[in-house]
Structure 1
Amino acid sequence: MPAQIYAPFEKFNFSNRNCFLTGDVLQSEEEKIQVFPQWLMSLYNLQDQPFKLLDERIATYKDLKIPCSAYINDEYLEPLENEIAGAFNRGYEGIKALDELKLFQWAGKLLYGIIFNEVQSGIKMMHAQGEAFNMSQAIIHKFSHMHLMLQSINLPIHFEEFKPFSLFLFKVDNKTDEFGYRDEINTQTFALRMKDFGLVICLQDNNANFGYHRKIYEQIKDDVLHPIQFEEFSGRVFYSNYLFNRLPEYNILPVGEDVFIEDMPLRGMSSKPLFDEWANKTYGQVLENFWKNWGFLLLEIIKDPEKPMSFLFDTDGKKIDAATIALPR
């Protein structure tokens, strides 16, 4: 009998009575886990730090929870958290040695936990106004596939010769106590900067963004980056994933007790490029946001509209050594 896949978006089941990963009915509504794991919150004293949700509501990191059965948590999520925590504790080398799929599952669980809270909040708000909750079909499509792939944590789900995500990992000269987190849930892009590393993941692009940035990544992936350089690369990836104009499709093939997921060609029937045209002014606005710590303004960033400011490459296209950047970390 094939594994039973749970599809919460079919009936918009986001109650606290069902496990977020399996849909199993819980013993009580108190059966929950933290979205941001306790080990990470304790490391950076995040528990009471503000976390802004899409509806402008301010929660704290510890407020963000998702319903989860004790069995799923004990059997699958705790072991994953322990493995990730151990890797993070060892810094860049620990992350580099980690199975990329584990990192994808961990980042996906965290981002889906935020999505779950956002959707739950939206349903409550619309219900209070006497209206039905609506979400675009494109977003449902993305979130559904993300949840499907997240079930590779607890089900024998296999990806058939494709990678559903893009992952970029760097050594970064961060401040000791710095925790840099950023996400964009509509494009399912996730960035984390802490200890001596920084990573960016596009969770649902079939490795397309990796191909888009491969040339630059190959040039800088073995360097130790200044934080502003990592934020610049992150800005590039967040912007390119916004320009990514495909909704990946998959064939789901049950074989015995296993489920195999096969990707459909991203090009499909369209001759249109996978990414919309890059606009430096919009990219400059992204950089302005990513460079807030250093106070650069849009007018400075796109002073030359053809060549936006960069701390990765000089005007001749040569790599900039992090040690030569005279800015605070």
Structure 2
Amino acid sequence: MSQTLYNPFNDLIFDPHFCFLSGALTTEKMTVFPQWLMDHFKFGDERIEMMDKAKSYTYENLELPCSPEVKDAFEALDIKIKAAYEQGYDGMARLDEVLIFQWTGRMVYGLLYYEMVYERDRLLKKGEEFKLSPALKERFSNFHLMLQSVIEPISFKGKKPWSIVVFPLKYSADIFSYRDDAINLMFSFGVNSFGFVACLQDNGVLKARHKEVLGKIEGQVLHPVQFEELYARFHYSDYILQYSPKYDVDFNSDDVTIRVKEEKEPIFGLWNEDIYAQLLSNYWGVYGITKDDILQSQRPTLSFLENPYTKEFVNPEAIALPF
């Protein structure tokens, strides 16, 4: 097997004539969000904003250049995910995490691709060069390599390079809820019957960080407000994480193996309740919960996952908020 695979981040190539995953010349395209998902939840004509809020697209207009091989591979993956989705939580919980990584990775990478194109074009108009820091280049390159497992014989040995948590979730209607942070490679997905949180390149660090609360959640059907809080905890933990994931990549004659390279212990910066409360209030705004409600003088930070005083898990049925 070749000692290298296509890496658009080497020369920052985001060209509509090159497949986003393999680099092959192509005229084909595929949607960033699976077509069946947009059809089922009817959000294809809704708009999504870029990070700086200055530009937006409709979901159905977000497309990636792709080779026929890549398109076929993701269509086959969609069939597996859709079949699991139709079985609810049990179906999703039985899925190999690699499949969830690949399926989620398609959407996260697609959004990242559009952010890269938008920023490149914005800088070009100003006569400035588009660059990425070495740390971002390394992170995105590793992510792209791992996503190529959809079409290449790439396997993950030992500890997985991600944190993926799947759990039962209850909505009162056929609702699709998701949040993303393409730069930090994070994604949350929630529908009636299940939800999952995915941190796609943390080497399992965030899952370990929240091991205690995840233990309390196990076997529980979460209220959506708890789902939002869990993602907020993961998201803010990622924000204060001082850790650069490293990997040993072996190109063998007929496959590629990726192993997490264990180095120094991950370090987390100081948890700032004020910043966390602001982030959480953004997620809880639909419930009318503000930052001032979350942080009140002489009271612990508001939580619907754990009783702020006893740290016992909050029974979802006892939460008097719509779902």
TM-score, scaled relative to structure 1: 0.94
User: Paired residue for 1:320, among 299, 304, 314?
Assistant: 314
Quote the residue 1:165 is aligned against. 162
Q: Which amino acid aligns with 1:213?
A: H
> What SS does the aligned partner of 2:267 have?
coil
Deviation at 1:4, TM superposition (A): 4.5
The equivalent of 1:207 in structure 2 is: 204
Check 1:132–1:305 CA distance in 2 against 1; reply closer, same or farther (3 A cut).
farther
Corresponding residue of 1:146: 143
Which of 95, 112, 117 lines up with 1:115 in the alignment?
112
Give 2:19's aligned residue: 19
Give the structure 2 partner of residue 298 of structure 1. 291
| Aligned counterpart, 1:242 | 239
The yes-or-no answer on 1:67 pairing with 2:65 is yes
Residue type at the aligned position of 1:296: I
> 1:154 Cα shift?
0.9
SS of the residue 2:243 aligns to: coil
Pairing 1:278–2:266 present: no
Q: Please list the CA deviations of residues 103-162 of structure 1 after superposition, one character each: whole Å capped at 9, or x if unmatched.
A: 011101110011111111221222222221122222222111110110111111122212
Gaps of 5+ in 1: none
Task: Give the one of 280, 287, 304 matched to 1:311.
Answer: 304
Letter in 2 for 1:62: E
Superposed displacement of residue 185, structure 1: 1.6
Answering whether residue 230 of structure 2 is matched by residue 233 of structure 1, we say yes
Aligned residues: 321
Q: Percent identity?
A: 36
For the 8 Å contact 2:33–2:59, the answer to whether it is kept is yes
Provide the aligned C-alpha RMSD in A.
Answer: 1.5
Matched-pair contact (CA < 8 Å) for 1:167–1:202? yes
Would you say the 8 A contact 1:174–1:197 is kept in 2? no
Shift of 1:322: 0.9
Shift of residue 274 of structure 1?
Answer: 2.2
Cα deviation code 1:229-274 (max 9, x no counterpart):
111111111111111111111121112111111222141xxx7x52
Partner residue of 2:214?
217
Q: Which moved more, 1:206-215 or 1:169-178?
A: 169-178
Q: Per-residue deviation at 1:305?
A: 6.7
Task: Supply the distance in 1 between the matched residues of 2:261 and 2:202 (Cα, whole angstroms).
Answer: 12
2 CA distance for matches of 1:50 and 1:67?
20
Alignment deviations for residues 63-100 of structure 1 (CA, whole Å, 9 cap, x no partner): 111000112212x1111111111111221111011111
Matched AA of 2:64:
I
Given residue 289 of structure 1, which amino acid in structure 2 is its aligned partner?
N
State how far apart, in whole Å, the 2-side matches of 1:140 and 1:301 are.
36
Q: Which residue of 2 aligns with 1:40?
A: 37
TM-score (norm 2): 0.95
| Code of the aligned partner of 2:313 | K
Contact 2:112 2:183 in 1 (8 A): no
The amino acid that maps onto 1:72 is: V
* Corresponding letter in the other structure for 1:326: A
Q: CA deviation at 1:304?
A: 4.7
**Matched AA of 1:69:** S
Query: What is the deviation of 1:301?
Result: 0.4
Residue 318 of structure 1: SS of its match in structure 2? coil
Q: Which letter maps to 2:210?
A: H
Alpha-carbon contact 1:266-1:274 (below 8 Å) kept: no
What SS does structure 1 have at the residue aligned with 2:112? Answer: helix
